[in-house]
Amino acid sequence: MFKLRGIQDLYDWQRTCLNLDCVQRRKNLIYSLPTSGGKTLVAEILVLRELLCRRKDCLFILPYISLVQEKVRGLASFGLELDFLVEEYAGSKGRFPPVKRRNNRSVYIATIEKAHSLVNSLIETGRMEDLGLVVVDELHMLGDGSRGAIIEMTLAKVLFTSKSTQVIGMSATLGNIKDLQTFLRAENYTSDFRPVQLKEYVKLTDTIYEVDPTEEECFKFSRLLNFKYSSSMQKVDPDHIIALVTEVIPTHSCLVFCPTKKNCENVVGMICKYLKKEFLALRQPEKAVLLRELRASGSGSACPVLRRTVPYGLAYHHSGLTSEERKLVEEAYSNGVLCLLTCTSTLAAGVNLPARRVILRSPYVASDFLKRSQYKQMVGRAGRAGIDPVGESVLILQDADRDAAKTLVCAPMEKCYSNLLRDGRRGLLSLILSLIGLNICSSVGRVMDFLCATLLCVQQEALCAETSLKEEVQRCVDLLKDKDLVTETAHVQTLQVTKLGRATFKGSVDLSYSDLLYKDLSKGLEGLLLNSCLHLVYLVTPYDMITQCRPDWMVFFRQLTDAEQKMSAAVGVPESFIARKAAGQTVRKPVNMEVVSRMYLALVLFSLLKETNLWSVSERFHLSRGFIQSLLGSSSAFCSCVLHFTEELEEFWPFRALLTELTRRLSYCVTAELIPLMEVAGVMESRAKQLYNAGYQTLTQLANADPALLSNAIENLFPKRANQIVASAKMLLNEKAAALQEEVDELLMKP
């Protein structure tokens, strides 16, 4: 840790936690601390212990692709030094089942969805005993909708199928942590430690109050704002954001959380107008480099808002930016080139970007009032260990929200509940289908035995108030039979999956869409148009993104060439319909609008694959760059799911080779020569172009690069990042070589 991270000592709580009796005896553990308390380091030490001492594989589950890539980069140097492999399971990446290594151990870094598929593949191949440790970051996400249901399914399967796999959960403080302890058969360690003291404040009109739960009103007078506002300035900034930020920037850093993406851009633009010209001179060369990199990432285009704000050391950060733009902004902020970010709540849940002061522009996310857990995650970003003596948060309030805000800042933490019954029992249906498909259960009775190992069972009195858990299970089994996903043999009442059922759970396809996907693929077999890849792209355009975009009819009409008109008509969207909509005329003949929207999104993806220029596609379709990139990422992941789906159904054999190549194209969406470089965790398109132009044109060349020379050759590539890129490239090369060696050994093995 000292050599690779510079960590000389542990905090007292970390030492205590690692020496707990339950940890020493490899019992399951949930540990809860405030944000920035140093939770991740404990998990990494436990992972290293499992890999090196017990020689077992580990699974590290993280909520977002960006966090997976960051963790892969962070652990790659440890893997090279200590001889283990770091494998990425995110988006379309990851092998199922993973390559079985004879000599090397692996740590699988996975998103929630990929971790579930990985565990399924290990159960199916009888390899669960190889998995020594499962670490779950943000365990409280068990209570977070459909993704929470997937975490619960994954952990329940681990607990049920392996007696030797240890489970470690990192969680925010919860109001019902005992429910999670019962579910995971785990002990709990809790501490309120923070390396930097956090002081919470609220602002009403021009007065700052300190949050104090011991006070009857919850708020204690602290001070009045000391900033002279002109009448025109008061109209532009009635919430005194400029006063609050200029108390700390540019000497210290500041995050301003805004309720919407548009508000982020408006607020950062407003602050810039009233900053002194001295801000322009600070770190001017580095800001110029950042602007050049932003232009390079946009193939010569840069966001006009960022062009105006970056010279002042300010930027915004939300999902409307591409992942490359967000990464550049994050690195510039971490290195002090930027001193202020306006951002949405997603930044608090993702990357770790601390600040001296955190300002919450409003107690809302869009139109929804903040949850206590969201509030704690945001204010937890205040205070940088080793830099700031204290961290401050300021929540800006209007009088109307005063009472609700008292509950927000002073109430106990929310409780976490199972989501298996949410959205018409989607989670429970998916769980039962996979249990039958994996031969874990073959009857309703066995399913009930398994459910005793779930959070749903622990909380059944609260969640199954109207019907019993057994009745819920029977309803799900009956529904799976109706959907032709499961059959039951009459004489012995044994449950089995059908071919469609097996394809559905092996492909991780949502049960809501499996029948529709089968019909779409079957129709595609009858007349798949391959004069372009548009028809294939349509078949892998995610169903769950259809509602997120409304077609611009004139753009839709102009994008259709003769070949595309024919393909559009083949799926049920005739040119005459689009022409009438574009002209604002009434359409008499009914058309399936979900198919229309899916066709429109397929056209967006098709244009992107042809041009690989996200900016021009964004402008043509009037969609944000971030949305298009999100669509691309979801499509590559869904394409991978559809590929696994077709592998289980013999009639779809023609799709397999086509979808294998399409998955690769959707995953990177760049010219072919850049793909080997972009396979390295965290290397985006503009960085890949820089590396390629500097002579690092293959994975082997990059893996054998000198990090110091690489840092000098590539503009704005700091030595730490250069080391991570080279380490990640070496790790990927080792992983590919090891996989090939395993194949060779298997071929040469004597019978």
Give the C-alpha separation, 49 to 41, whole Å: 12
- Tell me if 80 is assigned to some domain: yes
Give the C-alpha separation, 691 to 724, whole Å: 14
Strands 495-497 and 357-360: unpaired
Residues 397 and 433 in one domain: no
Cβ atoms 283, 337 nearer than 8 A: yes
pTM: 0.90
Type of residue numbered 273:
K
Checking if the pLDDT of 180 tops 70, the result is yes
Going 399 to 403 to 409 to 414, the CA torsion angle's sign is negative
3-state secondary structure string, 409-423?
HHCCCCCCCCCCCHH
Residues 393 and 429 in one domain: no
Residue tagged 């004069």 (tokens) = 531
SS3 522: helix
Residues 493 and 589 in one domain: no
Give the C-alpha separation, 622 to 620, whole Å: 6
The secondary element (H helix, E strand) that includes residue 390 is strand 390-397
pLDDT at 2: 58
Mean pLDDT along residues 613-641: 92
Which among 677, 666, 649, 673 has a CA at the least distance from the CA of 733? 677
Q: Which of 130, 160, 190 is the last residue of a domain?
A: 190
CATH code, 445? 1.10.10.10
Give the C-alpha separation, 424 to 421, whole Å: 6
Over residues 58-113, the pLDDT tens digits come to 999 999 888 898 899 889 999 999 999 999 999 888 989 998 887 789 999 999 99
- Tell me if 167 is assigned to some domain: yes
Cβ atoms 82, 51 nearer than 8 A: yes
- Tell me if 415 is assigned to some domain: no
- Tell me if 663 is assigned to some domain: yes
Full residue range of the structural domain in which residue 577 is found: 511-669
- Tell me if 506 is assigned to some domain: no
pLDDT at 110: 97
User: CA angle, corner 85, sides to 694 and 170, nearest 5?
Assistant: 110
Give the C-alpha separation, 743 to 55, whole Å: 21
Supply 674's token pair: 């850049």
Over residues 625-638, the pLDDT tens digits come to 999 999 999 999 99
User: CA angle, corner 668, sides to 109 and 151, nearest 5?
Assistant: 30
SS3 9: coil
CATH code, 586? 1.10.3380
Cβ atoms 118, 110 nearer than 8 A: yes
Report residue 353's pLDDT band, with 50, 70 and 90 as the boundaries: confident
Checking if the pLDDT of 590 tops 90, the result is no
Give the C-alpha separation, 65 to 420, whole Å: 23
Report residue 738's pLDDT band, with 50, 70 and 90 as the boundaries: confident
Residues 736 and 631 in one domain: no
Give the C-alpha separation, 122 to 128, whole Å: 5
CATH code, 254? 3.40.50.300
Over residues 3-52, the pLDDT tens digits come to 667 778 888 999 999 999 999 999 999 998 877 778 899 999 999 999 99
Residues 12 and 79 in one domain: yes
Report residue 688's pLDDT band, with 50, 70 and 90 as the boundaries: very high
Give the C-alpha separation, 65 to 115, whole Å: 12
Give the C-alpha separation, 32 to 188, whole Å: 8
DSSP letters along 104-160, please?
--EEEEEEHHHHHHHHHHHHHTT-GGGEEEEEESSGGGGGSHHHHHHHHHHHHHHHH
Supply the DSSP symbol for 698.
S
Cis peptide before 97 (omega within 30 of 0): yes
Residues 270 and 391 in one domain: yes
- Tell me if 505 is assigned to some domain: no
pLDDT at 84: 93
Residues 491 and 348 in one domain: no
Which among 244, 525, 197, 466 has a CA at the least distance from the CA of 359? 244
Checking if the pLDDT of 252 tops 70, the result is yes
Report residue 555's pLDDT band, with 50, 70 and 90 as the boundaries: very high
Residues 589 and 735 in one domain: no
CATH code, 689? 1.10.150.20
Residues 131 and 7 in one domain: yes
Give the C-alpha separation, 45 to 51, whole Å: 10
DSSP letters along 285-346, please?
HHHHHHHHHHHHHTTT---HHHHHHGGGTEEEESTTS-HHHHHHHHHHHHTTS--EEEE-TH
Over residues 381-402, the pLDDT tens digits come to 888 777 778 899 999 999 999 8
- Tell me if 437 is assigned to some domain: yes
Supply 657's token pair: 């080779």
Q: Which of 147, 163, 190 is the last residue of a domain?
A: 190
Checking if the pLDDT of 309 tops 80, the result is yes
Residues 121 and 32 in one domain: yes
Supply the DSSP symbol for 651.
G
Q: Which of 376, 410, 444 is the last residue of a domain?
A: 410
- Tell me if 502 is assigned to some domain: no
Which range has the worst mean pLDDT, 84-93, 380-389, 487-496, 556-565? Answer: 380-389
Q: Where are the alpha helices (DSSP H) in 354-487?
A: 372-379, 402-410, 422-437, 444-451, 455-458, 460-463, 469-482
Structural domains counted in the chain? 5
Residues 679 and 664 in one domain: no
User: Each residue of 450-465: b (16+ CB within 10 Å) or e?
Assistant: bbebbbbbbbbeebbe
Residues 712 and 571 in one domain: no
Checking if the pLDDT of 1 tops 70, the result is no
DSSP letters along 86-105, please?
EEEESTT---SSPP--SS--
